[in-house]
Amino acid sequence: MGIRLDGAVAIITGGGGAIGGAQARLLGASGASVVVADVDLTKAEAVAADVRAAGGLAIACTLDVRDGDRWAAVVGVAEGAFGPVTALANNAGANVRVSFDEQTEQMWDLIVGTILTGSFLGIKAVVPSMRRAGGGTIVNLGSIASTRAGAMSPAYGAAKTGLVGLTRSAALSYATDGIRCLLVSPGHVDTPFLRANTDYSPNDATTSLDEPANYASRVASTPMGRLMTPDDVARAVRFAFSAEAAAFTGSSLVVDGGAAM
Ligand SMILES: NC(=O)c1ccc[n+]([C@@H]2O[C@H](COP(=O)([O-])OP(=O)(O)OC[C@H]3O[C@@H](n4cnc5c(N)ncnc54)[C@H](O)[C@@H]3O)[C@@H](O)[C@H]2O)c1
C-alpha cells in the first residue's frame, strides 16, 4: 500500500492539466478529498469525475489563480464541501518561449502573474483555513528554471526562481502554525504544456514535443534517458503532503531524472 492521506482536504490548481490531474487522481486514491481548480472548468470536471469513478471524493471549480477574490470563494467552497483545507498544490503555470528581446510586458504579466502572483495569492487564501485545520502543507511547482537560467523566456525563469524565495518565506512565516511549504521541481515532463498551442503555453514546431527533434533533445538532456511523467511528479507531491515529509519545509524536491545537474 502506498502513502495514505486520509482526512486531507486538498486544493489542486491547474487541476485540469496533466501534472495537476495526476496529483488529483493519486491524492483521491490515497484518501484525500480533492478540489480540482482550473481556469478551464470542463477539464477540471473531467478530472474530478475520474477521482469519483475510482471511489474518491472530488469536486471541480473554476479558478483563475490571478484573481484573489476568486481564491477566497474557492477556499469557501472547499471548506463547505470537505472542511478546512490541509493541502494546496500551486500547479497553474504559463510560458511563452521567446527570447529576452521578443518577450513583451504582456507575456511577462501572464507568466509572472500566473506562476508567482498566483502562488502568493493561493498561500494567502489557504493559510487561515489551514490554521483552522491545525496545520497543512503547501506545494509550489518549480522547474529546472528554478535553479538554472535559460536563454528563452526571462519571465519563466524569474517566476520559477521567485518560487524558491516564496516557498522559503512561507515556510519561515508559518512553521510555528504547523504549516509546511515545499517546492517540487519537475524536469522535462511530457504534457500539453510542452506539446499543445494554448493561450497560456503556446508551442509551435520550434518548441513542441510533437516534433521528434524537440522530443529527442529533451531526452538527451535528461541523464536517465527518458522524459518524466505526470505520475512521477504526483508521487513526489503526495510524499510532500504526507506525514513521511513531516520534517521537510522550505526545501525542494527535484523530480527530473538528473536533468538539472
Ligand atoms: N511539463 C513540463 O515539462 C513542466 C516542467 C516543469 C514544470 N512544469 C510546471 O507544471 C505546472 C503544470 O503544467 P503541466 O505540464 O501539467 O501543463 P498542462 O498544460 O497540462 O496544465 C496546466 C493547467 O493549468 C491551467 N491554467 C493555466 N492558467 C491558469 C490560471 N491562470 N489559473 C488556473 N489554471 C490555469 C490550464 O488550464 C491547465 O489545465 C506548470 O506550473 C508548469 O510550469 C511543467
pLDDT of 1 reads 67
In b/e form, how buried is each residue of 18-47, taking b as 16+ CB within 10 angstroms?
Answer: bbbbbbbbbbbbbebbbbbbbbebebbbeb
Gap between the Cα atoms of 204 and 130, Å rounded: 41
Mean pLDDT of the chain: 98
| In a domain? residue 216 | no
Short-list 139, 119, 123, CA closest to 242: 139
- Reported confidence tier of residue 150, pLDDT bands at 50, 70, 90: confident
* Residue 91 in contact with ligand 1 by CB distance below 6 A: yes
The pLDDT of residue 118 is above 70: yes
| In a domain? residue 199 | no
- Reported confidence tier of residue 162, pLDDT bands at 50, 70, 90: very high
pLDDT of 170 reads 99
- Nearest atom (ligand 1) to Cα of 201: 19
* Residue 188 in contact with ligand 1 by CB distance below 6 A: yes
In b/e form, how buried is each residue of 159-168, taking b as 16+ CB within 10 angstroms?
Answer: bbbbbbebbb
Reduce the secondary structure of 200-237 to three states and give it as a string: CCCCCCCCCCCCHHHHHHHHHCCCCCCCECHHHHHHHH
pLDDT of 151 reads 85
31: left (phi over 0), alpha (psi -120 to 50) or beta: left
- Tens of pLDDT along 69-112? 999 999 999 999 999 999 999 999 999 999 999 999 999 999 99
Burial (CB < 10 A; 0-12, 13-18, 19+), residue 246, is: exposed
Q: Ligand 1 centroid to 200 CA: how many Å?
A: 8
| In a domain? residue 258 | no
- CA max distance for the chain: 51
β-bridge mates for residue 150, sequence order: none
pLDDT of 236 reads 98
Mention every residue, 6+ apart, whose C-beta is less than 8 A from residue 24: 10, 12, 15, 34, 36, 47, 48, 50, 51, 58
pLDDT of 149 reads 86
Look up residue 60 and give its three cell numbers.
Answer: 471541480
HSE at residue 75, side-chain half, CA atoms within 13 A, is: 25
| In a domain? residue 125 | yes
| In a domain? residue 212 | no
| In a domain? residue 86 | yes
Look up residue 117 and give its three cell numbers.
Answer: 502572483
How many domains, the chain?
A: 1
Q: How many degrees, rounded to 5, is the angle at CA 73 between CA 18 and CA 122?
A: 55
Q: Ligand 1 centroid to 209 CA: how many Å?
A: 15
- Nearest atom (ligand 1) to Cα of 22: 16
| In a domain? residue 78 | yes
34: domain range?
A: 9-187+231-248
CATH code assigned at 111 = 3.40.50.720
Gap between the Cα atoms of 50 and 25, Å rounded: 7
Q: How many degrees, rounded to 5, is the angle at CA 173 between CA 170 and CA 179?
A: 70
The pLDDT of residue 122 is above 90: yes
| In a domain? residue 1 | no
Q: Ligand 1 centroid to 130 CA: how many Å?
A: 24
